[in-house]
């Protein structure tokens, strides 16, 4: 009887554990998607999104078990009372003028803001940044869409950006309880002409050197979206394989888009060879048409001559034919570029354009940069120029980089605006719609939110001649060596006087012979 008691308790525990698991489903979920977009220039953009959502208040609950949400980030949230975190690494520059508005815009550098905004204008993104990013995924790079993340293919692209976004999400309308959302994103732009061996055809294997074999077993949703807005079955110029089973239509970035959907959780989608290779082939070369100009794009440059003064200029383009809209411009300028705020000028169509709101925080030497924020109204079909003069500071010789003649990078400007939409958008259910749809929040159906970044600038500063210290050191060492060596020899050398010797018998005989010959003696 006593021996049967432990066995009975074990059975009760197992049944109780099973019943508890069945009664309370997992509170976390994973959704992954890949959006492939042919760009107007002929390139191909691929955007990955992995969203992990956990219905847990980490800052209140004592969490010790992590299933899908990374433990390292969960401990960061609970220990430091983290509210929101956004971190991105970008190599290259998104060319809005030729590629159109991006899905996931990021500056051409390292961008980080967590109650504060920080930018590192020059940072090389490499495999050491991609590997820990992939380790945060529940399936790592073993299954699902993450198998396409091959480093040697991703870093040989025209544009590469990876990011981590952490934020709280309300579970109900009153926001009495929250969930934590981790969104890992990666965007790349492939040159289809190079990857297609002289053709603009593309496929998953040509772009990533891999194909999709199976979905991530921990994902509740795993889909691939292909933009087929300009494609239809009656068009005989191209061919899409395999044919999509379903399509999705919505208003994205102000225009109506049609996407082909490939659901990896559908067992019929992956063929018998356990391989899914989406590809597009052109039956005849496409017509070279001018890419559509986006309603909002910007350009930034530095002007002036010499190494004393200069001018920062930003051009804001509003190409909408009849609608004006405001733009919030944010600039962070390093302290060693001393801004003259009284020289700030804003002109549109040859006239002065006064900003509706302006905030300026001056820089402190070696402590904080300049912060300039303005709300500017852009007239319809206009180019607005924002310019400000600056003076270059002379740094200490220990503050220069190892390659000072290369120049110093200035972080890009940030533009935030509600851009007019061509097609009215309808309210959607964010949980049922694709992940990329939530990237473009709209206040109404006539506008959509967009954030753009300008180019980073490269500015030369007054640089001393670093070869002069080398020359001075060489000359000084030579003089010291000669003088010190001479004095040292005089002080330490010992002199001895030697008396001449008369010589032996052989010398005497030699002198006798020399005398007989008339030669001087030895």
CA 183/CA 346 separation, integer angstroms:
38
Closest Cα to residue 192, out of 181, 184, 200? 200
Q: Is 473 exposed, middle or buried (0-12, 13-18, 19+ CB in 10 A)?
A: exposed
pLDDT of 32 reads 92
Angle (CA) 323-326-331 rounded to 5° is 140
Closest Cα to residue 267, out of 225, 229, 226, 214? 214
Closest Cα to residue 89, out of 156, 163, 153? 163
Give the chain's length. 522
Are the CB atoms for 286 and 236 separated by under 8 Å?
A: no
Q: What is the mean pLDDT of each run of 10 residues along the chain (522 residues)?
A: 47 42 67 88 88 80 78 84 85 83 71 68 76 89 88 86 88 84 91 64 86 88 86 60 84 80 83 75 64 84 90 93 92 93 93 93 92 93 94 89 87 88 63 69 70 89 82 89 86 73 74 82 75
CATH of 296-459, one of 2.40.100.10, 2.40.50.140, 2.60.40.740, 3.40.630.30: 2.60.40.740
pLDDT of 358 reads 94
Cα-based torsion angle of the residue sequence 199, 202, 207, 211 in order, rounded to the nearest 10 degrees: -140
The number of beta carbons lying within 10 Å of the beta carbon of residue 304 is: 15
Are the CB atoms for 413 and 67 separated by under 8 Å?
A: no
Closest Cα to residue 263, out of 222, 235, 226? 222
Closest Cα to residue 315, out of 333, 332, 296? 296
Q: Where are the domains of the chain?
A: 28-59+67-282, 296-459
* Alpha-carbon separation of residue 22 from 12, 27, 144, 242 (angstroms): 15, 13, 26, 39
pLDDT of 15 reads 40
* Alpha-carbon separation of residue 223 from 226, 413, 420, 520 (angstroms): 10, 34, 30, 113
CA 58/CA 97 separation, integer angstroms:
43
CA 346/CA 339 separation, integer angstroms:
15
Angle (CA) 284-99-109 rounded to 5° is 140
Q: What six digits make up the tokens of 128?
A: 């050491």
Using the structure block, give the residue that is written with the tokens 């530095």. Answer: 302
pTM: predicted TM-score of the whole model, two decimal places = 0.79
pLDDT of 337 reads 93
SS3 call for 468: helix
- Strand partners of residue 451: 416
Angle (CA) 122-105-445 rounded to 5° is 160
- Strand partners of residue 167: 181
Phi, psi of 224 (to 5 degrees): -120, 130
Phi, psi of 108 (to 5 degrees): -85, 60
Quickly list H helices, 140-216.
151-154, 192-195, 204-208
């Amino acid at each position: 009887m006593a021996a049967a008691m432990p066995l009975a308790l074990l059975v009760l525990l197992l049944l109780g554990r099973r019943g508890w698991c069945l009664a309370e489903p997992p509170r976390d979920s994973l959704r992954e998607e890949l959006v492939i977009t042919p760009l107007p220039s002929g390139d191909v953009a691929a955007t990955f999104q992995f969203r992990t959502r956990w219905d847990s208040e980490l800052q209140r609950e004592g969490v010790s078990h992590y299933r899908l949400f990374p433990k390292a980030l969960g401990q960061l949230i609970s220990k430091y009372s983290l509210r929101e975190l956004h971190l991105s690494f970008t190599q290259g520059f998104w060319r809005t003028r030729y590629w159109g508005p991006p899905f996931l815009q990021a500056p051409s550098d390292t961008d980080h803001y967590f109650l504060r905004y920080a930018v590192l204008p020059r940072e090389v993104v490499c495999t050491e940044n991609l590997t820990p990013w992939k380790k945060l995924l529940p399936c790592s790079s073993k299954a699902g869409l993450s198998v396409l993340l091959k480093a040697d293919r991703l870093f040989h692209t025209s544009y590469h950006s990876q990011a981590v976004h952490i934020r709280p999400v309300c579970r109900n309308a009153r926001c009495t309880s929250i969930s934590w959302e981790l969104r890992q994103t990666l965007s790349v732009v492939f040159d289809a002409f190079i990857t297609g061996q002289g053709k603009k055809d593309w496929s998953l294997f040509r772009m990533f050197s891999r194909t999709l074999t199976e979905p991530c077993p921990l994902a509740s949703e795993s889909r691939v979206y292909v933009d087929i807005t300009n494609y239809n079955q009656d068009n005989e110029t191209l061919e899409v394989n395999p044919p999509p089973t379903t399509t999705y239509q919505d208003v994205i970035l102000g225009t109506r888009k049609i996407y082909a959907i490939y659901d990896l959780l559908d067992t019929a989608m992956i063929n018998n060879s356990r391989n899914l290779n989406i590809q597009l082939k052109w039956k005849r070369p496409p017509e070279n048409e001018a890419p559509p100009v986006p309603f909002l794009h910007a350009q930034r440059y530095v002007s002036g001559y010499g190494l004393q003064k200069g001018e920062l200029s930003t051009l804001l383009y509003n190409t909408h034919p009849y609608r004006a809209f405001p733009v919030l411009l944010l600039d962070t300028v390093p302290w060693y570029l001393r801004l003259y705020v009284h020289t700030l000028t804003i002109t549109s169509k040859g006239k002065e354009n006064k900003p509706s709101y302006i905030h300026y925080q001056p820089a402190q030497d070696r402590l904080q940069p300049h912060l300039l924020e303005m709300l500017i109204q852009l007239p319809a079909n206009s180019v607005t120029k924002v310019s400000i003069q600056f003076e270059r500071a002379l740094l200490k010789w220990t503050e220069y980089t190892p390659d000072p003649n290369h120049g110093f990078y200035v972080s890009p400007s940030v533009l935030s605006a509600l851009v007019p939409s061509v097609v009215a958008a309808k309210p959607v259910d964010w949980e049922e719609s694709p992940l990329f749809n939530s990237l473009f929040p709209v206040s109404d159906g006539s506008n959509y939110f967009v954030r753009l970044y300008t180019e980073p600038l490269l500015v030369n500063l007054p640089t001393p001649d670093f070869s002069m210290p080398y020359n001075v050191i060489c000359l000084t060492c030579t003089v010291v060596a000669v003088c010190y060596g001479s004095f040292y020899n005089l002080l330490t050398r010992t002199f001895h006087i030697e008396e001449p010797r008369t010589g032996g018998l052989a010398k005497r005989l030699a002198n006798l012979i020399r005398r007989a010959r008339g030669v001087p003696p030895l």
